[in-house]
Amino acid sequence: MDVDDEWLTLPETATLMCMTKAAIAQLRYRGVGPRFYRLSAKTILYKRSEVVAWMESRACTRTDDVLAAR
């Protein structure tokens, strides 16, 4: 399996994103975070490549860049 297509658990995703699990849950709830895969009511996975792409899409060049408009 290619590392970019590796499946990540929520704790692994939180570590990669430098965020708490609760913060990522809020992104899911609001529909503004990286795409996720719900395997069951309590099992959520992310693809590493999609998380990294989402993080890269949040890049800013100025402190007053508005992320909400993206």
Residue 20 structural domain: 3-57
pLDDT band for 67, please (50, 70, 90 cuts): low
pLDDT reported for residue 63: 86
Dist CA 49 CA 26 (whole Å): 21
Dist CA 52 CA 4 (whole Å): 9
- The amino acid present at 48, given as its one-letter code, is R
pLDDT reported for residue 35: 97
- pLDDT tens digits along 4-48: 689 999 999 999 999 999 999 999 999 999 999 999 999 999 999
Residue 67 lies in a domain: no
Residue 25's CATH number: 1.10.10
User: How many separate domains does the chain show?
Assistant: 1
Dist CA 53 CA 39 (whole Å): 22
Residue 50 lies in a domain: yes
Residue 70 lies in a domain: no
Residue 69 lies in a domain: no
Please list the residues that pair with 7 across neighbouring strands: 47
Residue 43 lies in a domain: yes
Residue 18 lies in a domain: yes
pLDDT reported for residue 42: 92
